[in-house]
């Protein structure tokens, strides 16, 4: 049974003052998922201020008031996350607290598979976004793109129009300088238009060649040209892809370094700085390219961390974590239960919101599809979209 059926599903207990612009009704919509690998510590990200009991449990690790920017509701944002502060003030940051899986999974791989599949019944054969892509029709050759070595489980589905790339610059034929390059491309275009029986493997091979040729030229034009005065980062690349006219709806970026078993203050600070850069760069480029208001960033991680610190100045694997959603379509505020140290479960923040409730919200309110078909059941949505 979903946790939501017995416990308070969500409580919107604090919201910023302001309202911001609206999203055009039928504009293409983009979702960038940022997966914090290793288990992000929610209490080092957005935490209650002036909480002596909390600091007693994490005397070396914990954020002091001076480490945080007040949100005006008793909570503060880690000072390293300047972008979060800006989005909060603009009413465009949702913090969803105590999200997790229904079972206690303290293994990175198991918890990650549950988060990425988004449906324990499916048993890891596909990802929640992969099934979204299967269930819906897109308009271009690259509906989803993940930056990294290989396609993450989140994007795996039966159709193959998801792309994994290490960067836009490196999504390139490696023979562009050979004298016979044009003749080679003519051959490839023959393969892309090869006749094949409907539904056959040969058709899928031809389709792969078509999608490759369709994606290649627009991406090679983007290349590694400076944007916003810097060599493009992966976050810039994500915004550039959304604006490239390839029908790209989903972007996926993984950030590592959140498994802070020791020396957490320094390690987490440097990991969270990468998150801050990702958010800042993505939105500045999205803004420049005119896709900012059609873009939402969802920040997730496979689990949270133990509330009390260990003997190495770090924290061990925990249970629930916080999810963050940013962008102008977001109804800024805090969602989920208020932090209650008397309600810990083996030293962990217990899961109060099934992660599938977060996914259901994104699928329903942002991607405009029926979440039950993707998630295998109905989950209560959380009103963090405008």
- The residue ranges that bind another protein (CB under 8 A) are 107-110, 113, 117, 123-125, 141-142, 149-153, 156-166, 171, 173-175, 178-180, 182-184, 186-188, 190-191, 194-196, 200-202, 204-209, 211-212, 214-216, 259
Sequence-distant (6+) residues with CB within 8 A of 53 are 341
Decide whether 65 or 180 has the Cβ nearer to another protein.
180
Decide whether 348 or 361 has the Cβ nearer to another protein.
348
CB of 213 to another protein, least distance (A): 9
CB of 291 to another protein, least distance (A): 21
CB of 219 to another protein, least distance (A): 10
| Alpha-carbon span 381 to 384, nearest angstrom | 9
CB of 90 to another protein, least distance (A): 35
Decide whether 66 or 179 has the Cβ nearer to another protein.
179
CB of 210 to another protein, least distance (A): 8
Q: Based on the number of CB atoms within 10 Å of its own CB, is 27 exposed (0-12), middle (13-18) or buried (19 or more)?
A: exposed
Decide whether 12 or 216 has the Cβ nearer to another protein.
216
Report how far apart, in Å, the C-alpha atoms of 267 and of each of 40, 44, 69, 246, 377 are.
11, 11, 20, 37, 38
CA 57 to chain centre: 30
Q: Which is nearest to 235 in space by CA: 30, 23, 29?
A: 30
Report how far apart, in Å, the C-alpha atoms of 196 and of each of 188, 199, 205, 206 are.
15, 8, 9, 8
Longest CA–CA span in the chain (Å) reads 71
Angle between helices 181-192 and 201-222 (to 10 degrees): 140
CB of 108 to another protein, least distance (A): 6
Handedness of CA 310, 37, 41, 110 (dihedral sign): negative
Decide whether 10 or 171 has the Cβ nearer to another protein.
171
CB of 247 to another protein, least distance (A): 12
CB of 376 to another protein, least distance (A): 14
Decide whether 55 or 213 has the Cβ nearer to another protein.
213
Residue 84, SS3 per DSSP? helix
SS (H, E, C) 5-36: HCCCCCCCCECCCCCCCCCCCCCCCEEEEEEE
Decide whether 151 or 326 has the Cβ nearer to another protein.
151
Angle between helices 264-288 and 82-89 (to 10 degrees): 50
Decide whether 48 or 208 has the Cβ nearer to another protein.
208
């Amino acid at each position: 049974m979903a946790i939501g059926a017995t416990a308070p599903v969500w409580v919107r207990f604090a919201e910023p003052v302001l309202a911001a612009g609206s999203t055009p009704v039928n504009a293409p919509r983009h979702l960038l998922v940022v997966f914090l690998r290793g288990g992000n510590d929610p209490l080092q990200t957005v935490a209650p201020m002036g909480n002596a009991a909390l600091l007693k449990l994490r005397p070396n690790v914990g954020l002091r008031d001076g480490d945080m920017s007040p949100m005006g509701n008793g909570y503060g944002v880690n000072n390293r996350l300047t972008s979060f502060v800006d989005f909060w003030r603009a009413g465009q940051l949702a913090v969803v607290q105590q999200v997790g899986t229904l079972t206690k999974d303290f293994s990175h791989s198991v918890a990650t598979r549950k988060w990425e599949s988004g449906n324990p019944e499916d048993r890891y054969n596909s990802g929640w976004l992969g099934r979204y892509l299967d269930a819906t029709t897109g308009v271009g050759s690259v509906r989803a793109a993940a930056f990294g070595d290989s396609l993450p489980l989140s994007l795996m589905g039966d159709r193959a129009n998801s792309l994994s790339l290490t960067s836009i610059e490196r999504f390139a034929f490696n023979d562009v300088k050979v004298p016979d390059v044009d003749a080679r491309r003519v051959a490839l275009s023959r393969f892309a238009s090869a006749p094949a029986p409907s539904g056959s493997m040969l058709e899928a091979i031809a389709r792969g060649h078509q999608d490759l040729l369709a994606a290649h030229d627009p991406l090679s034009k983007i290349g590694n040209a400076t944007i916003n005065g810097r060599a493009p980062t992966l976050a810039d690349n994500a915004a550039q892809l959304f604006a490239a006219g390839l029908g790209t709806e989903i972007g996926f970026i993984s950030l590592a370094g959140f498994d802070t078993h020791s020396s957490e203050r320094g390690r987490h600070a440097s990991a969270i700085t990468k998150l801050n850069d990702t958010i800042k760069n993505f939105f500045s480029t999205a803004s420049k390219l005119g896709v900012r208001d059609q873009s939402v960033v969802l920040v997730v991680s496979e689990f949270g961390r133990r509330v009390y610190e260990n003997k190495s100045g770090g924290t061990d694997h925990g249970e629930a974590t916080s999810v963050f959603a940013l962008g102008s379509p977001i109804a800024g505020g805090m969602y989920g239960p208020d932090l209650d140290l008397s309600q810990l479960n083996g030293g962990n923040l217990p899961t109060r919101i099934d992660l599938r409730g977060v996914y259901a919200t994104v699928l329903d309110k942002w991607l405009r599809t029926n979440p039950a078909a993707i998630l295998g059941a109905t989950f209560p949505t959380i009103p963090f979209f405008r």
